[in-house]
């Protein structure tokens, strides 16, 4: 990243954030023309409640910020899966705004589907993502059946517990205005997940990876790690075309996001859907990431740097025009 900026004659410097250093970081950021931000939204019990107001203040002062906290809240929390569910890459996704709403509605939904996935609003590494499956041999009442609950976090094992016990465990995800999203369990997750890397509305790379979090132990021998592919990779040509010509524009319209507001570093995760009658793959949106997206393809860094510089210049021009009007 730093080499890409240096090649364009632009100085870049690292700034490490922590809540304890917020005031120092604020002073550093106000001296810059722009800032690329990637911070884990939930790390060891912390959150972005201190960082986000700081970034909003810095952006209001004329520093270009990507991704802006308001953009992250618009497009890069699990809520976006509900807002885009009518798109051809969407799924039958439901939103729960409170623990009581989850208790009231989720049991009937699970009885209809047998297996569902619940995701907290913000998180990474599988934290707060659960596969919940009815245990056919449970023996408990239909009002409170036994379920298998599989946390997607690393090294987690399936747990057999009463549905009421599981729902009680989920109450913490609603603290501080949190919410949960319900999505169908996508059976082809065992075939891996395709991550599409983007700069604004342009695809800049791909990676096919195999998250183990919600895969059954009998399917856990999938390859590990990830291999970055160029945006021109033939195997992903249909997905690239769908992203650039259809899905990103549709998402922008639904969310009311201008292209210049899209992050210069973001990605979208897809799981294979049902094949078409002709045998072609379909793709279902699983997640959008814009707050903590590294590793990012090294080959895409020159495009990221150029896009960042272009946006910084636009912000400077807008600031100069505003000063002239004043």
Question: CA angle 243-249-253, nearest 5°?
Answer: 145
What is the secondary structure of 126-147 as a DSSP string?
A: TTTEEEEEE-TT--S-TTS-EE
**Which CA distances in Å does 260 have to 65, 79, 197, 213, 257?**
12, 22, 17, 34, 8
For residue 292, the model assigns a pLDDT of 79
For residue 176, the model assigns a pLDDT of 83
Residue 198 and residue 66: Cα distance in Å, rounded? 13
Give the residue numbers spanning the domain of 39: 2-71
**pLDDT 10s per residue in the chain (326 long)?**
999 999 999 999 999 999 999 999 999 999 999 999 988 877 777 888 999 999 999 999 999 999 999 999 999 999 999 999 999 999 999 999 999 999 999 999 999 987 999 999 988 778 899 999 998 665 556 789 999 999 998 888 899 999 999 999 999 999 888 999 999 999 899 899 999 999 999 999 999 988 777 766 555 555 666 789 999 999 999 999 999 999 999 999 999 999 999 999 999 999 999 999 999 999 999 999 998 777 789 999 999 999 999 999 998 887 777 777 76
181 and 287: one domain?
A: no
Question: Tokens 């075309």 belong to which residue?
Answer: 241
For residue 256, the model assigns a pLDDT of 96
- The answer to the question of residue 158 being in a domain is yes
- The answer to the question of residue 244 being in a domain is yes
Q: What is the pTM of this model?
A: 0.91
Q: Which of 134, 167, 185 is the last residue of a domain?
A: 185
165 and 218: one domain?
A: no
Nearest to 285 by CA among 264, 258, 267: 267
207 and 83: one domain?
A: yes
Residue 101 and residue 95: Cα distance in Å, rounded? 9
Looking at the structure of the chain, the number of domains it has is 3
- The answer to the question of residue 180 being in a domain is yes
For residue 222, the model assigns a pLDDT of 56
- The answer to the question of residue 51 being in a domain is yes
């Amino acid at each position: 990243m730093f080499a890409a900026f240096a090649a364009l004659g632009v100085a870049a410097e690292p700034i490490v954030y922590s809540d304890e250093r917020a005031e120092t970081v604020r002073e550093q950021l106000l001296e810059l023309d722009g800032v690329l931000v990637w911070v884990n939204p939930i790390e060891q019990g912390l959150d972005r409640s201190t960082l986000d107001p700081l970034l909003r203040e810095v952006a209001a002062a004329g520093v270009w910020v990507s991704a802006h906290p308001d953009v992250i809240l618009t497009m890069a929390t699990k809520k976006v899966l509900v807002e885009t569910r009518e798109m051809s890459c969407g799924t039958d996704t439901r939103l729960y705004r409170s623990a009581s709403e989850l208790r009231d509605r989720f049991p009937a939904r699970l009885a209809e589907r047998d297996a569902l996935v619940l995701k907290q609003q913000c998180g990474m590494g599988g934290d707060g993502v659960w596969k919940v499956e009815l245990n056919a041999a449970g023996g408990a009442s239909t009002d409170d059946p036994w379920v298998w609950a599989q946390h997607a976090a690393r090294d987690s094992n399936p747990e057999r517990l009463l549905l009421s016990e599981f729902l009680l465990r989920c109450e913490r995800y609603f603290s501080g205005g949190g919410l949960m999203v319900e999505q169908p369990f996508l059976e082809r997750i065992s075939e891996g997940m395709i991550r599409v890397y983007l700069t604004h509305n342009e695809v800049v790379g791909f990676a096919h990876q195999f998250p183990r979090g919600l895969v059954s132990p009998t399917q856990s021998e999938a390859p590990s790690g990830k291999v970055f592919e160029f945006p021109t990779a033939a195997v992903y040509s249909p997905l690239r075309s769908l992203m650039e010509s259809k899905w990103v524009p549709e998402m922008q319209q639904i969310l009311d996001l201008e292209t210049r507001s899209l992050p210069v570093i973001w990605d979208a995760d897809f799981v294979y859907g049902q094949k078409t009658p002709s045998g072609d793959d379909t793709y279902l949106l699983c997640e959008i990431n814009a707050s903590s997206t590294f590793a990012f393809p090294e080959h895409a860094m020159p495009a990221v740097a150029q896009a960042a510089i272009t946006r910084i210049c636009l912000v400077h021009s807008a600031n100069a025009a505003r000063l002239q009007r004043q």
